[in-house]
Structure 1
Amino acid sequence: MGVALNADERPVSHDFAIALTSMPPLLELKEKSVGNLKSYASALRDQLKNVKNALQQMKKLRSHSKTQSDSYTSNVFYQYRLTRHMHQDWPKWLKLMAKKLGAKQIASAQSLHPLLPTETDLSEALLAIYRLQTTYKLKAKDMVAGILKGKYYSHDKWGVIECSMLGLFYFYKERYTYAIDWLKLALKLYKHSNAKLIKIMDWTFVAILEILVEATRISGRYKAAYIYANRTLARKPNDDYMKRQVEQLKELSQLPLVPNVERNSNKLYKKFCNRPYPPIVKGVSCHYLRSTPFLKLAPIKMEVLSQDPSITYYHGLLSDVEASTLKNLSRPLLHRAEFFDFKTNLYAMDYYGQRTCKTARLDDHVHEVTEALNQRVSHVTGLLLTDSEKLQIINYGMSGHIHEHIDASKRSSEGEWETGDRTATALAYLTDVEQGGETVFPLLNITVVPRKGSVMVFYNLQLNSQADERTLHVSCPIIFGDKWIATKWIRDKAQMFIRPCPIHFKPLPKSDLLPEMEVTNDLDFIREEDYAGSLMK
């Protein structure tokens, strides 16, 4: 289990990568930075014009004096003009040369610097690409071409620096096959790139080659490493380290290719989100719900995805306007997702990449839309929302996801669950998602695609109020799009007469697919390797 970080230990982050709602400020910051740089370039151009004028004036005087030196030295017109020019004009040109350029623009750039993405922001962005690629087994060349899981998207093309950075990141993650693919792409793109600009950004062709030598050597691809080492040595002939590498790799390259086993991810959601699910699940039924007087007037289209445990999908429970209202109400309240640390009995912010999103809680009576949603959930479920939790709004970020979990808790601190455990979850989709972002129940072989305005209800507890681990679910990484959801957790104690515990109860069998660690609704199996506070962790 990861350890909750206190305020002093928290990484500095603007949360740009964990929620798309954080991106508009970054775009505004980019526009300000571009405008400031244009202003700086304009100041430099003005200065250059002045220097050119000075040079033109000097050249004119010099050309005349060279062609007619004798006559000019005795010429009163030239004598006066030269004397005046050197006394009055030249000091002004010197003063112009000494002028500090762009002081205003430099001060503006320095004022924007604290708002720029931090190391943690960049690390989380790299982790997002890492999560996206390793979950869906995407090819680097396809991603650079804008193709994600077989679908083309209009995109800003990545260049040498983006590919090199990903290659380096995968290298430190010990995922050498991916690292090599990205670095080879960087070399290919380098031929058609601005080498001077790339060098300013501290990347060079040789630097990429050097990382490729290490990635291929460590992964047991000795022939490739030997080739890259020779290419590096050709550009750095006095590099003693590379000379030794060439000698060693020359011998190793004669061995048969046996790539070393790479470190694989132990994330279960990657297995769950990338496996095929049947388009039609056995036992699914679809009909209109008319169980209450309200629903008789306004029946709701419902799909029963599972009878046991109960999972039902209600279509059109929210309008587009209502979905937008919930998003707008939550925007000022959104903050980095949290997890409950049972050691400290405190909530802590998640910097471990288990829930890449921002969340906010809305009071039941904060707006007529929250009241209406509660009423509709009560109508379709027949449950009482007395003492239920506040509505939670979630906005996901780059490749946003939530790891495998169940919403019920097997353990709780006194007071936290005094109104009972989470008997049911009502999950409302506030947006469509173009690709990815499905909710998957791997033990039930069910996958649910987000549909704006729809609400999915599933029961987390058995009738004896024990957690039903079959409802283990995961929110798969978003491939493309913006995902917002609203979640209402309905507590158990108010349902004691609605869902009574049976006298005879048969416990559920354990599933082989359940993770070995205990599954809870809280992130108590965070691993230190996921910590995003440092770029190369």
Structure 2
Amino acid sequence: MLLVHIFYLVLVKSIFVHSESFTSTTHLTHLFNTEVELSKQLQSYLKVEYERLDRIEKFLDVIKDEIRQAQGKEEIYFGNPVNAHLFIKHLTVDWYGIEEIVFDDTSKTMADNYLFPSYEDYTGSAVALMRLQDTYKLNTSEVANGEISTNYKSRKLSALECYDLGRIAYTNGDYYHTLMWMQEALDHLDKEVNNTSPSRVDILDHLAFSTSQQGNHEHALVLTKEILRIAPDHVRAGSNKIYYEDLIQKKILNGNSDSSDFKSTPTIKKMDNINIKNQRPRDYLDEREKYEQLCRQNGSSINTKRQAKLFCRYRHNNHPYLILRPAKEEQLLDEPVIYLYHDTVRDNDIQVIKDIALPRVSINESIRDTAWLRNEDSPVIARLSRLIEAVTNLSMATAEDLQIANYGVGGHYEPHFDFARKTEKDAFSSFGAGNRMATWLTYLSDVEKGGATVFIPTGGHVKPEKGSAVFWYNLYASGEGDYNTRHAACPVLIGNKWVGNKWIHERGQEFRRRCSLDPMA
């Protein structure tokens, strides 16, 4: 009986094992398909992951190269506006693309603990580059190829970077600069072998619309035909081709076209006979042309008769502060009378002023950072106030605090008056000290190129010289405003510009600068 039980158990176990083995083999056969699919999914995942890591690595290489070039010589590196623009671009639009694909804790750590520029800073730096182009009549190729300075070098822009500048201009409705930068992008594209370059069709599309907005319909038709040659199914280009042909035909019928037959429009490779117009639009500032012309000059635009009135001298005013070290006074302009005082502030004092101002700066609309410093902030500030009082013979008791300004990429201040006009009755009412009688402007840095202070009505041009200061009266002795003092800070082309403004008010000057009944005295 025991043997029967043992036989039965062995038989059952044998059947169970055979059944299990059969079941496992069947399952494994089916599961093999799972493994095949898992392999495919992991390969796809790795491909995406490698692409993600490749994007991060390329971005890392770009910023590491930038760090290598800039570290230890930041002021020189960022003194080139192209470098400054690219730097802002890396920390805005380029970083936005990377931020989306890095781990959340990385992007959160950076956002919580470090400052980043805004998108407006990025577009503002692009507009500043274009402002520099206009003011100093820079060729687009000069800017794009890093040829605007030998001392403050920048690298050559890629087709994509030129395209991005064109896109910003395009978005702003600025077809004048769009045409320049899209053409530059096209030129660079032909020389690049780079899968990150923009599409040729995209460039041509922007270029065609912009040139048509500038009245170049024949040129727009050539570009549109090129788009259709590359992408025959491009819907917008197809519609635009008909539109441009119709426009050109109407011009011919009305006798307003230089072309005798619109069907003979040349190809994109043979456009030498097309006269491409790209007129800079007029803006709100009537004196823009004169202002920019003065910025491009190396000195004041005054005739020899006026120059003969100018002089240099040592000024001490019998003031104890100046007896042993009189001010080195140079008259730069006769109308309005503008004096330049050389070597007014020492380099060590300038550094102290910058160090105090830097943590306090706030950004305003003129692409410059500003801070206000009081005499109590440092003996250096108080000493400068005493010097200004000694040289000008005017009281500092009602003067404004020292305004420190640092001009950024293409930093400028457009033509303005420092005094309040009669229509601006409450302009300085909070000071309770009357109008701004005079201005003392201290230059706290040299500027490699640009950044001059220009006086538009009379052709004055003052180049920043570290440690020097300019002084002028905004009001006549009668209290009437002197409209010849209208001035501007030219855009900084190359370098870094720091200035200190001290505005001196009327109250307290009654016995220091006596009033005159002559309104123009």
After TM superposition, the score normalised by the length of structure 1 is: 0.68
- State the Cα distance separating 1:307 from its structure 2 match: 4.4
Q: Specify the alignment match of 2:470 in structure 1.
A: 456
Is 1:505 equivalent to 2:518 in the alignment?
yes
Query: Which digits, 9 at most, give the CA deviation of each residue in 1:90-119, with x for residues without a partner?
Result: xxxxxxxxxxxx97x553135435854322
- Residues 460 and 468 of structure 1 are in contact (CA less than 8 Å); yes or no, is this contact kept in structure 2? yes
1:136 corresponds to which residue? 136
Unaligned 5+ segments in structure 2 are 1-77, 250-256, 259-274
**Distance across 2 between alignment mates of 1:210 and 1:325:** 53
Selected match of 1:444 from 443, 448, 458: 458
> Does structure 1 retain, via aligned residues, the 8 Å contact 2:340–2:470?
yes
Q: How far did residue 288 of structure 1 move?
A: 1.4
1:127 match: 127
Distance in 2 between residues matched to 1:260 and 1:242, nearest whole Å: 22
Structure 2 match to 1:333: 360
* Distance change (3 Å), C-alpha of 1:253 and 1:395: same
Q: Between 324-333 and 282-291, report the one with greater CA deviation.
A: 282-291
Relative to its length, the structure with more helix (as a share) is: 2
Q: Deviations over 1:439-470 (max 9, x none)?
A: 00111221000000001111111112222111
Q: Determine helix, strand or coil for the equivalent of 2:501.
A: strand
Q: 1:240 is matched by which residue type in structure 2?
A: V
Structure 1 residues 385-534: aligned runs within 5 Å: 385-410=396-421, 411-413=424-426, 415-502=429-516, 504-507=517-520
Aligned letter for 2:195? K
**Distance between the aligned counterparts of 2:278 and 2:378, measured in 1?**
58
- In structure 1, distance between residues paired with 2:405 and 2:128: 17
Number of aligned pairs? 402
**Could you tell me which amino acid in structure 1 is paired with residue 518 of structure 2?**
F
- Are 2:478 and 2:520, in contact at CA under 8 Å, matched by a contact in 1? no
Find the residue that maps to 1:314 and give its secondary structure.
Answer: strand
**Is the Cα–Cα contact under 8 Å of residues 134 and 270 in structure 1 kept in the other structure?**
no
Matched residue SS, 2:377? coil
1:130-529 to 2 correspondence within 5 Å?
130-148=130-148, 153-198=152-197, 203-250=198-245, 252=247, 255-256=257-258, 259=277, 263-267=281-285, 268-269=287-288, 271-275=290-294, 276=297, 277-278=300-301, 282=307, 283-291=309-317, 292-307=319-334, 309-337=336-364, 350=365, 355-410=366-421, 411-413=424-426, 415-502=429-516, 504-507=517-520
State how 1:5-20 maps to structure 2 within 5 Å. Answer: none
Letter in 1 for 2:369: K
For 1:389 and 1:252, how far apart are their aligned partners in 2? 60
Q: Percent identical across equivalent pairs?
A: 27
Give deviations 1:200-250, integer Å, cap 9, x for gaps.
Answer: xxx322111111111122222223212211111122111232123223434
Separation in 1, partners of 2:386, 2:432: 23
Name the aligned partner's letter for residue 412 of structure 2. H
The residue identity in structure 1 corresponding to 2:166 is G
Partner secondary structure for residue 493 of structure 1 = coil
Q: Which moved more, 1:413-422 or 1:490-499?
A: 413-422
Distance verdict in 2 for CA 1:467–1:34, change over 3 Å: closer
Q: Which moved more, 1:270-279 or 1:238-247?
A: 270-279
Q: 1:315 to 1:386 in 2, by over 3 A?
A: same
Between 237-246 and 426-435, report the one with greater CA deviation: 237-246
1:280-302 CA-to-partner distances (Å, cap 9, x unmatched) read 86122111113223322112211
Residues 226 and 253 in structure 1, CA contact (< 8 A), matched pair in contact too: no
RMSD over aligned Cα atoms: 3.3
Deviation of 1:142 (Å) = 1.4
Residues 152 and 204 of structure 1, relative CA distance in 2, 3 Å threshold: farther
Contact 2:316 2:323 in 1 (8 A): yes
Which residue number corresponds to residue 108 of structure 1?
106
**2:35 — aligned with what?**
none
Q: TM-score, normalised by structure 2?
A: 0.70
Secondary structure at 1:495 match in 2: coil
- Counterpart Cα distance in 2 of 1:289 and 1:129: 42
- Structure 1 unaligned blocks of 5 or more: 1-19, 41-101, 338-349, 509-537
Between the two structures, name the one with larger relative contact order (CA 8 Å, sep ≥ 6): 1
Q: 1:205 to 1:147 in 2, by over 3 A?
A: same
